[in-house]
Amino acid sequence: MIVGARIPIPSNRQVNPMNHGHAPTLADLADRSGVDVLDHLDTQVRVPVIAGLQAQGDLIVIPEDLVPQVRPYSQSIRLNVAGSGIELLRSESGGNPHTLVSDPGTCFWYPSVNDLIRLSLGFLETQVSAYLIHPEHGATGMAPGRYLIRRQRERNGSSGTADRFVYD
């Protein structure tokens, strides 16, 4: 697929999710990714899939139409999200990873992004539902489409002037 080309998004936003037409459970995603989720999470819950803005700890997932000025570089490598997924970010203290998981050959990650505010980790392009899994936060699903995945930042309360990354 050409970088910058749009993937047609079907009206049924939950097309071809993993697990044979049903949204996977947290246990399904944990098994597939090798991410051990914490005991307080219900691993039998089905992971919801949405097409809008969503956050998971220190990451925020933004549909491409909300950030039209940000795109992958034309020479950006395209990684196939396959098998156990791709680790997008690990917490600052070396702790828990945010891992992107989807069906092989249907979801691609572009790690080089033209983003003037330098918060982007990369650009996601998926033809089926894709999932972010994290040991503490569980999982969240993204409907077919294109998304920018960024770090979150917050205003530094002590000085009121400097921003800082959100760490989880």
Domain ranges of the chain: 26-165
Residue 55: Cβ within 10 Å count: 15
- The per-residue pLDDT for 13 is 40
Among the ranges given (19-23, 27-31, 65-69, 117-121), the one the predictor scored with the smallest mean pLDDT? 19-23
Confidence of residue 81 (pLDDT cuts 50, 70, 90): very high
Residue 10, phi then psi, degrees to nearest 5:
-65, 160
User: Do strands 97-101 and 79-80 pair parallel, antiparallel, or not at all (unpaired)?
Assistant: unpaired
What predicted TM-score, i.e. pTM, was given to this entire model?
0.78
Confidence of residue 82 (pLDDT cuts 50, 70, 90): confident
